[in-house]
Amino acid sequence: MTAQNLPTGEDINSLLEKSLLACGVDLDAVRGDYPTRSPLTGSPLLSVRSDDHSQIDAMISEAQQAFLTWRDVPAPARGALVKRWAELLTEHKADLANVITAQAGKITSEALGEVQEMIDICDLAVGQSRQLFGKTMPSERPGHRLMETWHPLGVVGVISAFNFPAAVWSWNTALALVCGNTVVWKPSENAQLTALAADALLARAVRDVGAPAGLHHVVCAERAGGEQLVDDERVALLSATGSVRMGKEVAPRVAGRFGRLLLELGGNNGAIVAPSADLDLTVRGVVFAAAGTAGQRCTSLRRLIVHESIADQLVDRIVAAYRTLSIGNPLDDGTLVGPLINQASFEGMQKALEQARADGGDVLVGGSRVLADAAEEAYYVEPAVVRMPAQTEVVRAETFAPILYVMTYSDFDEAIELHNGVPQGLSSAVFTNDQAEAERFLSSGGSDCGIANVNIGTSGAEIGGGFGGEKETGGGRESGSDSWRAYMRPATNTVNYSGELPLAQGVKFV
């Protein structure tokens, strides 16, 4: 593994200020006393405002008031707002990507990919704005029509994590807006500048198309700000992305007020590699899924379950690939692995590796910190590969860092059991050229995850498919497919045009 030179704090701040201004952020208006830091160097960035309880309450009130107007705007006209937003995102793709890199530490290609994901969901949402359709069902009564219609919910609260600091919000916001809702967003404390930049582009789109003011708000606050969205009865739907621990706290509170909930939680993702797999393809898929974004994707590959007949060969090739990874400045073209988000992530990784060794694991490569002399407050690490004798508790728990645990199996049933033997259920993959194995993996008796792939890694979901997982991942679905329904409420309608009043099921009441 090779380490690359790091930028200076001055370089990052200069690029950040230029990019924020290009996105339309009023720097004087957002300045405050809440410090932000860049994981690239650990150096301070622009300090931002800190919204208090009354300010957040006012945001929710404004969003609720705007909803009363926005819900009556025809859906295709609502789509025009999202279309304009996509145009601005396209125009300022590099600017927003720079902010994402400065705050989340993503390499440039991944940051640009995140903005492209935002553009893609806007494209999907614009099309969806003309297809918010319900069904018409046959009525058992003559002269009656039975149908369903779909209606906006109200204020949608979004709580997002640092690792996709803009894309996940856009998944929710693009669909929420075309469905007739308004949005209040509480981003991660580690990504508030990204949120302000992304929201500024949406604000420009609102002005350009003459949409109502108050459709969207950004909450700059610590945990209490998110809790306010969780508990406020005016927030009709809460979409929360984060840890399983967070989900277990949020879910009963929203349910207790009969609010709607969309959860995207942990993902301890696994991949099975069968004897028939194309190993060249497998190595490429595994290395990106496990080491990309420094292992800080919810879809990052964390468990590799390999047939015993090819395990040594495949592991040797993966270890060799890991040794070539360039680690360092994510703004440099040649860098493949940027920093962890903070010290806590690094310490969590070290604790997991220590436990893996205690459980009999063999760390084959990686795990060490690099570039500490260049940036004492930044945490760059070598992605690790660990050969494990069994799926121990440390393997069953998600560690949000680049650790790939490798285990072996002898028959496909054992592989499926190992794969499903964790509490999380987000993304999964099988590498095989055996059609029967591929079909079994995709069947109801195969992967128990919300995403199941064949001959592709666990990372890199496309906008067209619904994104989400099962078990402790929360059961939510965002992005494509019919996930728009989460942002609307159905109503069943019966229209009687018969001139008579027959009752259903033949009931007589005189």
Give pLDDT tens digits for 394-405. Answer: 999 999 999 999
Burial of 449 (0-12, 13-18, 19+ CB in 10 A): buried
Kindly report, residue by residue over 149-158, the tens digit of the pLDDT.
Answer: 999 999 999 9
**Domain check: are 37 and 144 in the same one?**
yes
In contact, 99 and 20? CB cutoff 8 Å: yes
Q: Would residue 506 count as lying in a domain?
A: no
3-state SS, 412-427, equals HHHHHHHHHCCCEECE
**Domain check: are 381 and 482 in the same one?**
no
Kindly report, residue by residue over 309-351, the tens digit of the pLDDT.
Answer: 999 999 999 999 999 999 999 999 999 999 999 999 999 999 9
pLDDT-derived band at 461, boundaries 50, 70, 90:
confident
Amino acid, single-letter form, for residue 1: M
Residue 2 structure tokens: 């090779």
> Residue 324's closest CA among 270, 267, 284?
284
**Domain check: are 384 and 241 in the same one?**
no
| Catalytic site includes residue 298 | yes
pLDDT-derived band at 510, boundaries 50, 70, 90:
confident
Burial of 208 (0-12, 13-18, 19+ CB in 10 A): middle
In contact, 190 and 200? CB cutoff 8 Å: no
Amino acid, single-letter form, for residue 84: R
Report the pLDDT averaged over residues 297-311. 98
Report the pLDDT averaged over residues 473-489. 96
**Domain check: are 143 and 276 in the same one?**
no
Q: Would residue 115 count as lying in a domain?
A: yes
Give dist(CA 283, CA 240) in Å, integer.
33
Give dist(CA 195, CA 483) in Å, integer.
23
Residues 6+ apart with CB under 8 A from 48: 30, 31, 32, 34, 36, 192, 193, 196, 220
Q: Would residue 508 count as lying in a domain?
A: no
3-state SS, 304-369, equals EEEECCCHHHHHHHHHHHHCCCEECCCCCCCCCECCECCHHHHHHHHHHHHHHHHCCCEEEECCCE
pLDDT at 106 (0 to 100): 97
**Domain check: are 231 and 286 in the same one?**
no
Mean pLDDT of the chain: 96
3-state SS, residue 90: helix
| Catalytic site includes residue 264 | yes
**Domain check: are 176 and 104 in the same one?**
yes
Q: Would residue 495 count as lying in a domain?
A: no
Element (H, E) at 172: helix 167-178
Residue 289 structure tokens: 């899924």
Pairing of strands 478-479, 470-471: unpaired
Give dist(CA 100, CA 5) in Å, integer.
19
Alpha carbon 164 to chain centroid, angstroms: 6
Residues 6+ apart with CB under 8 A from 316: none
Report the pLDDT averaged over residues 100-124. 97
pLDDT-derived band at 4, boundaries 50, 70, 90:
low
Report the pLDDT averaged over residues 441-468. 96
In contact, 366 and 325? CB cutoff 8 Å: no
Res 506 pLDDT > 80:
yes
pLDDT at 226 (0 to 100): 97
From 298, 382, 398, 437, active-site residue: 298
Res 246 pLDDT > 70:
yes
pLDDT-derived band at 176, boundaries 50, 70, 90:
very high
pLDDT at 122 (0 to 100): 98
Element (H, E) at 264: strand 260-264
CATH of residue 200's domain is 3.40.605.10
CATH of residue 310's domain is 3.40.309.10
Strand 182-186's sheet: what is its strand order? 216-218, 182-186, 155-159, 235-241, 260-264
Q: Would residue 505 count as lying in a domain?
A: no
pLDDT at 5 (0 to 100): 79
From 189, 264, 398, 437, active-site residue: 264
Partners of residue 183 on adjacent β-strands: 156, 216
Q: Would residue 394 count as lying in a domain?
A: yes
Number of domains observed in the structure of the chain: 2
Res 1 pLDDT > 80:
no
Q: Would residue 92 count as lying in a domain?
A: yes
Give dist(CA 285, CA 419) in Å, integer.
17
Kindly report, residue by residue over 185-230, the tens digit of the pLDDT.
Answer: 999 999 999 999 999 999 999 999 999 999 999 999 999 999 999 9
pLDDT-derived band at 58, boundaries 50, 70, 90:
very high
**Domain check: are 355 and 221 in the same one?**
no
Res 3 pLDDT > 80:
no
Report the pLDDT averaged over residues 134-163. 97
**Last residue in a domain, options 467, 482, 498:** 467
Ramachandran quadrant class, 89 (left: phi over 0; alpha: psi -120 to 50; beta: rest): alpha
Domain that holds residue 302: 269-467
> Residue 226's closest CA among 281, 160, 283?
160
**Domain check: are 126 and 233 in the same one?**
yes
**Domain check: are 118 and 232 in the same one?**
yes
Question: Whole-model pTM?
Answer: 0.96
Q: Which of the pair, 249 or 510, is modelled with greater confidence? A: 249
**Domain check: are 96 and 242 in the same one?**
yes
**Domain check: are 256 and 347 in the same one?**
no
- Percent over 70 (pLDDT), the chain: 99
Report the pLDDT averaged over residues 106-131. 97
> Residues 427, 431, 433, 437: is their CA dihedral positive or negative?
negative
Res 277 pLDDT > 70:
yes
Q: Would residue 250 count as lying in a domain?
A: yes
**Domain check: are 484 and 432 in the same one?**
no
Burial of 57 (0-12, 13-18, 19+ CB in 10 A): middle
Res 298 pLDDT > 80:
yes
